[in-house]
Structure 1
Amino acid sequence: MTEARTEVQEVWEPYARSGPARPRLEAMPASGVDLLVAGNAGVSELSEGVTEVTVVPEGSEVGPVRLEWRLPCVDATAFWTPYGNGAGGWLPASWSAPQRIDLSRGAPIAALVGTGDTGLCCFAADRTDVEAGGGVVEETGEFRFWLRADGPLTVRIDTSRRHFGTCLRELTCWWEELLPDEVIVPDAARRPAYSTWYSMHQELSPQRLEEQAALAGPLGMEVLIVDDGWMTADRTRGYGHCGAWDPVSLPDTAAHVEAVHRLGLAYMLWYALPFVGRQSPVWDRFQPYVLDRLDHLDAIVVDPRYPDVRAYLTGRVACAVEEWGMDGLKLDFVDRFHVPDAPAPGPQADCATVDEGVSALLAEIRRRITAATPGAMIETRQPYVSPGLWPYTTMIRAVDCPLSPGENRQHTIDTRLVSGPLAVHSDMLMWHPAEPPEQVACHLINVLFAVPQISVDLRTLTEGQRDALAFWLRVMREHHEVLQLGTLRPARPDLGYPLVRADLGTVAAVARYAALPVAVDGDWRRLLIANADADPVVVLTAGTGTGAARVADASGRTVWQGAIALSGECGESIKVSVPRGGLLTLDR
């Protein structure tokens, strides 16, 4: 034990920026993992393989604490984090730069994943403002985790070796238990949406928007999200006109919103929440309240620690719901409040930290718009996926990845694993006008376990593209409960999730992104198998009994149906031909 303590101490010291200089070594019960603690710690085993560690500063409730633990890095394949650690989640080195996590960027959760998608070690912390690191120790072949916080810290560590998705789901359920109130997500937040960003960028007008809305509804979209460009006549794609938030491109806004409502779509409006631009009439007003200067964006980030800033921003963005009759807000760039070296607040500030200011701002926005419209929605986006934001939002969108289906898949699955009760939206789907229907279907299958946002000019769709879009949006709407709320079991994070499964009650769904066999075990009565791979031969394994099968192509046309045995003689696998972009439905 003395030798182990000396060894860990040598690694600890280069990263110890402040706090007690002499950490103590303690053991986690029944886990084989040693803890290195700076502060007073309490350790308790909650269940087999799940341990809770609470660390408080020595002598008071104020001051830094630090927690480190290691385990043998045996059979490890990926290091999963919600804020990204490189494509494929490769294993970082222990000397990699730490992540500074706060309310507006990242989340205090991570997992070391092993062969067979086992959670070798998963953890989550109870506070959203931590510094975190993790990586392979070159000298020993161990994997090292560490956390630092400025005050009491509770961490749950799961070494149960269950599926890593199961471990992460339980950790996010713990987060939900810590919230003072239930998180309410309106049904509209789980419905397919049309977004204007890729299809129109800033070229907005009521006529263009209503034209797209009229086409979107019959295809299965139920929400219109209007992005940047509505508050300015400038079309140079900068943020210099943010701040006043006057609907320059949407004259007679309330009447326009009502026209979209008559077409059957809810309406959400984009705001770059932290920005005040140089061309804005309120530019000079907010110079005393600058949190950060973004000269390359022609804007400043205003400081939410000041009540004047919060009151102004709340009033401007709530106007969309209170006065214009909209159904929600798309609050963008919340992560720009993440300023590691924020200036000290002035005497007019009433919040000690930026996180406190962000929380107060978003809480007031949510209160105002839900008072006007109880089902009002708020969209936020990766990388601001902190559980501390759950009370103030209804949906999280994947980070921008235009025309990148594999990346969209990884981002939406990563976000699903950490989003708790919130709806998860894809980045907007776009494609070249010459895209074949099969690839349009694959774009949708890649975000099958999220809410799709579509952003193409619907007037220019070919008949095949339109049929594929309508078919898959119908599938996603009809089965949204299992797809969005089912127990998620993504496979192989190191390979970008080439196979993903969700189960809810008697319905299960599988998406196949590579030529991998599909296990058809379980107690399902209906099983959906979507094929996004070029290989049409879908191999079914581990099945029993028989099932009524229907195979549809990318546009939803039936290409084969009949009864099939779910296992061959002596348990052999079964092969079914499912075209690229197609769907196999099994009922039993």
Structure 2
Amino acid sequence: MTDFAVEVPLWAPGNAGTAGNAAVAALSDGAVLDVRKDGDAAIVRVMASTSETTLVRLDVPLGSAVGYWHPGGEGEQPLPADWQRGWRPVGLVRSAPVGVLYDGAGRVLLGVAAHTTTPAHVRFGVSETLARYGIWLAVELAAGASYEVRVESGDTVGATLGALARWLTRDPLPVPAAARTPAYSTWYSYHRDVTAERVTAEAREASALGCGVLLLDDGWQRNALAGGYSGCGDWVPDAERFGDLGAHVAAVHDLGMRHVAWIAPLMLGPNSSAYRTLAGNAPREVSRLSCRILDPRRDTAREYVVDSCVSLVDRYGLDGLKVDFLDLASVYADDGGDELDAALALLCTELVGGLRALRGDELLIELRQPYAGPAMRRFGNLLRAGDCPADAAANRVRTRDIAALAPDAAVHSDMLMWDPAASPESAAHQLQSALYAVPQVSVRLTAQSAAHRDVTATWLAFWRRYAEVLLDGERHTGTPDDRYATVTATAGDRAVTTVYAPGRTAPVDPVSRPDTALVNATDAADVVVDVATAATVRLDVSDARGRAVGGHTAHLSPGPHRLAVPPAGSCLITPA
């Protein structure tokens, strides 16, 4: 494998050709390129004539580029220089080899995705001397092996990422209707301080608010309170807190909810009974988590993981699992990354196969960033944003980023939490951050103030009313560097537009979309709309708690109008 601590000559001429609008060059002697057209796209097949790390560059003139999107780019400089970021590993549980270079109008100048079954390293950036933008792929291949790269350009960022995602996704796990209903999670609300009685009480409240899934997070299992993750490994219920887990699951089912339990199957703690027999299959330790990590390349480790998960679902009647910390397998990446990804794929294949034998197409499997990319769609159907407690902006960006590469999955927000003493508007902002995904709520519903209960009920009801538009409608999000400051979803004659940053203008067309919901997800007292077609409309305004604060008829001429909408409130625009 190439030593990435040694600088690679990024802009060497190499064995050059073209793929669509991009120049493509093989920078390693043993790499052979074959380019073919696939509709408006180009497919580059990279073959290895010898066993080595193949190095390939794709590049285009910089032109009017303003940003580069990739799955792990949240908060980064939109247009980095080629020397700023260095090489990044990507693989089955680490992001995805996808990226798009775009201009200020949101048109793609270069879109690239690599379909490879072995781990890759990627790099990208601007050449100061050549005024070109390059994307580099380094993939270790055996002699005679190959992988493919798809090259796109000319369409919008959203359309291009959708095309790349569909090309990358193979045999996705079916998405049952339950995956597309709001969920209640116990993590931020209780952490490990869970009991069957507490969780059932929360499920009762969640069901009344329209949640369809309960996610029982860490804390249900034996030795959960041992410190860090030192008790992980046995995966049996705690006898005091969940003395009859099956009865608890049945009680949640009686409320009309599905029940999904947390598991971190690769974690092996010294305080577990399993540690005595399995420690040899977990040679690497993560000291900050107080546990070792089972090596998925070992048959015994994989068999134990699969048996633990399948037995848990079967014995207690669970509807699925929240499979956590798969990315910790990366502790073994430096001693056989290609073998590691193959072993992880085998483990996940065996695991999902065993669970589907029990639950069929109704199986629910939650995966979170960074292992929520197209390669993992075979193994998960609830793809959740990475942890960002109370960070509404991060939740918004992460769910949009996941959705860009998972057009047919159920994209879930990170668990939504807020200060119990916060204003109703602050609580509403958290729920509004997840409008265009499936919300997971994680506050103590049984202890909510009346104001916060109003907020929770209002925005979950709003989400249910517009769910088909929010999840399946055509989305307009602007450019990624804008952090999705305004988002619009349209379907038929309905639209939902949300303004997330003060001073932004919301597009409104009351003629073609006579059922339009305008959401003010800011602390400003009004929203500027840009009306496409003149119309006389009814404006019904509500505050963050769903209370009506105004309603009147207005004539909206084409162009900008400032509408009074309370902070975290909404305005329904319908025909007069």
Asked if 1:103 is matched to 2:96, the reply is: no
AA matched with 1:241: G
AA matched with 1:109: V
* Residue 22 of structure 1, CA deviation: 8.1
Structure 2 match to 1:331: 323
Structure 2 match to 1:157: 151
Asked if 1:529 is matched to 2:518, the reply is: yes
2:175 paired residue among 143, 161, 185: 185
* Residue 234 of structure 1, CA deviation: 4.9
| Partner SS, residue 434 of structure 1 | coil
Asked if 1:500 is matched to 2:487, the reply is: yes
* Residue 217 of structure 1, CA deviation: 1.2
1:117 paired residue among 79, 97, 106: 106
Which segments of 5 or more consecutive residues in structure 2 lack a partner in the other structure? none
1:520 paired residue among 505, 508, 517: 508
* Residue 486 of structure 1, CA deviation: 2.4
Q: For the Cα contact (< 8 Å) 2:220–2:237, is it kept in 1?
A: yes
Change in Cα spacing, 1:292 to 1:75, as seen in structure 2 (3 Å) is farther
Structure 1 match to 2:343: 357
* Residue 587 of structure 1, CA deviation: 3.4
AA matched with 2:395: N
Under a length normalisation based on structure 1, what TM-score does the superposition of the two structures give?
0.89
Change in Cα spacing, 1:456 to 1:185, as seen in structure 2 (3 Å) is same
Comparing 217-226 with 322-331, greater Cα deviation is found at 217-226
* Residue 531 of structure 1, CA deviation: 0.9
In structure 2, what is the Cα distance between the partners aligned to 1:22 and 1:309? 46
Asked if 1:457 is matched to 2:449, the reply is: no
Q: For the Cα contact (< 8 Å) 1:88–1:495, is it kept in 2?
A: no
In structure 1, what is the Cα distance between the partners aligned to 2:407 and 2:276? 41
Under a length normalisation based on structure 2, what TM-score does the superposition of the two structures give?
0.91
Residue by residue over 1:70-114, the C-alpha shift from the partner in whole angstroms, topping out at 9 and shown as x without a partner, is 223333332211123544645253352211111111111112232
| Partner SS, residue 573 of structure 1 | strand
Within a 5 Å distance, the mapping from 1:290-309 to structure 2 comes to 290=282, 292-309=284-301
| Partner SS, residue 399 of structure 1 | coil
| Partner SS, residue 109 of structure 2 | strand
Structure 1 match to 2:69: 80
Q: For the Cα contact (< 8 Å) 2:172–2:379, is it kept in 1?
A: no
AA matched with 1:52: I
Within a 5 Å distance, the mapping from 1:137-286 to structure 2 comes to 137-151=127-141, 152-160=146-154, 162-176=155-169, 179=170, 181-235=171-225, 237-248=227-238, 249-286=241-278
* Residue 47 of structure 1, CA deviation: 4.5
* Residue 64 of structure 1, CA deviation: 3.6
AA matched with 2:266: P
AA matched with 2:359: T
Change in Cα spacing, 1:420 to 1:190, as seen in structure 2 (3 Å) is same
In structure 2, what is the Cα distance between the partners aligned to 1:382 and 1:208? 29
Residue by residue over 1:268-289, the C-alpha shift from the partner in whole angstroms, topping out at 9 and shown as x without a partner, is 1001121111111111322332
In structure 1, what is the Cα distance between the partners aligned to 2:134 and 2:311? 49
Aligned Cα RMSD in Å? 2.5
Change in Cα spacing, 1:557 to 1:273, as seen in structure 2 (3 Å) is same
In structure 2, what is the Cα distance between the partners aligned to 1:362 and 1:443? 33
Comparing 477-486 with 443-452, greater Cα deviation is found at 477-486
| Partner SS, residue 524 of structure 1 | coil
* Residue 502 of structure 1, CA deviation: 2.0
1:474 paired residue among 453, 461, 466: 461
Residue by residue over 1:406-455, the C-alpha shift from the partner in whole angstroms, topping out at 9 and shown as x without a partner, is 11111111111112321111111111111111121111111111111111
Residue by residue over 1:348-399, the C-alpha shift from the partner in whole angstroms, topping out at 9 and shown as x without a partner, is xxxx711122112212222222222221200010011232211111111111
| Partner SS, residue 271 of structure 2 | coil
In structure 2, what is the Cα distance between the partners aligned to 1:86 and 1:534? 22
AA matched with 2:139: A
2:354 paired residue among 355, 359, 368: 368
User: For this pair of structures, how many residues does the alignment match?
Assistant: 557
| Partner SS, residue 156 of structure 1 | strand
Structure 1 match to 2:59: 70
| Partner SS, residue 150 of structure 1 | strand
Residue by residue over 1:443-487, the C-alpha shift from the partner in whole angstroms, topping out at 9 and shown as x without a partner, is 111111111111111122111111111111111122222212223
AA matched with 1:330: K
